[in-house]
A and B are shown apart, each in its own frame.
Chain A
Amino acid sequence: MRFTETIMRSFSKLVVAAALIAFAAPALAQDSSSIAVEQPYARATPAGAKTGAVYMTIDNKSGTADKLTGASSDVADKLQIHQMKVENGVMKMRELPDGLPVPANGSVVLKPGSYHVMLIGLKKPLTAGESFPLTLTFAKAGTISVTVPVQAMGASQDKGGMGNMGGMGNSNSGGGMGKMEMK
């Protein structure tokens, strides 16, 4: 009895060790895997619009804080990381020159009415149903490329929070395409 118990114990230790190695190895091998970009999307832009915005959730699975420092894409001349807020009825938008911090073991949400990657000098309007490539640069994790689907104007992908209260269902039903009404 005692003999089997000892064997079982050392075996379970082995399993734990193997599991630890299996999980830890990829994390050590590739630094950028510490950052995950989830549900990136942009909204269709009105005709002739020169600007657009990209939204997403950035997850940081590592124990060290990181920072989104830049972005690039073929669809626009320039990309900037912006903070937007409405204060006392006034919309204020500012570039974040030092980047957007992504806390250790935490996440940051880019969403309408808040943070966004602003597309400046759009080469053509963003059309619902299309998608475009976007490369994000992080201070520690390096560059991460994602494909950004273009959704209908007014689309929202809020996970919980205010977006789900009343407004969201309605904004999604507001018409699939950028154009609301034909002339």
Chain B
Amino acid sequence: MRARQWLLMVCAGLFGFAVVALCVVYAVSFRGAGHGVAGIAAIGGPFTLTDDTGATVSEKTLAGKPYAMYFGYTFCPDVCPTTLFDLSRWIKKLGPDADKLNYVFVTVDPERDTVKSMHAYLSSFDQHIRGYTGTPAQIAQIAKEYRVYYKKIPSADGGYTMDHSAIIYLMGPDDKFVTVIPYQEDDASAVAKLKNLAAMTPTS
């Protein structure tokens, strides 16, 4: 009798252990998927756009330095200026490390965001930040490569607003995805991420 009870307890214990182990394995694999190898390989790629000075730019323009890339539009009343304002503050906090990175604001509204308007808009933020615009086809191309969601939402009065991904992509010097800074990240964490990114700059 006692032996049977003991056996039952062992079985129950083993079962419990198995459940916990399965949960841990599942959680780990789930977390892994979030930062997945597939994701790293999938984000980024070649592009041709025009910067806010009118120069033609491509992925080669950014080669050699890690970079922070944000997609938005200048008719955006809240999230975009807030993010660019935050980014400006973080760039200041980087100090001398700031020059080790490139910073790019890519419009998802090429119809309204001309070279000129992008340039004027960015004059209000840290001067490290460059603006990229292009034809609707060129913007569609880069958005696809960076897995950026954007959609034109017509309003009743004939105008429109844009739904768009509101995260800053941090890319390595080899053009490989490193991590993101989500909307409203706190200063300490965002600056730490940018510092880590700056440390990836190849020293020649």
Contacts and interface: CB of A to CB of B under 8 A. Distances in A.
Closest 4 CB pairs of A and B: A48-B120, A46-B124, A91-B166, A53-B77
Nearest to B72: A91
Interface residues on A, range: 35 or more
A154 B187 contact: no
A84 B77 CA distance: 10
A93 B187 contact: no
Interface stretch (A15-23, A33-41, A114-122): A114-122
Interface of B: 74-79, 81-82, 84-86, 88-89, 92, 117, 120-127, 149, 153, 155-157, 159, 161, 163-167, 180, 182-184, 186-188
A140 interface: no
B78 A167 contact: no
Interface of A: 43, 45-53, 78, 80, 82, 84, 86, 89-95, 97, 112-113, 116, 118-120, 153-154, 162, 165-167, 170-171, 174-175, 178-181, 183
A93 B161 contact: yes
10 contacts: A43-B81, A46-B81, A51-B75, A89-B182, A91-B183, A113-B78, A170-B89, A175-B89, A180-B92, A180-B125
Nearest to B93: A170
Given A89-B166, A113-B78, A154 B85 contact: yes
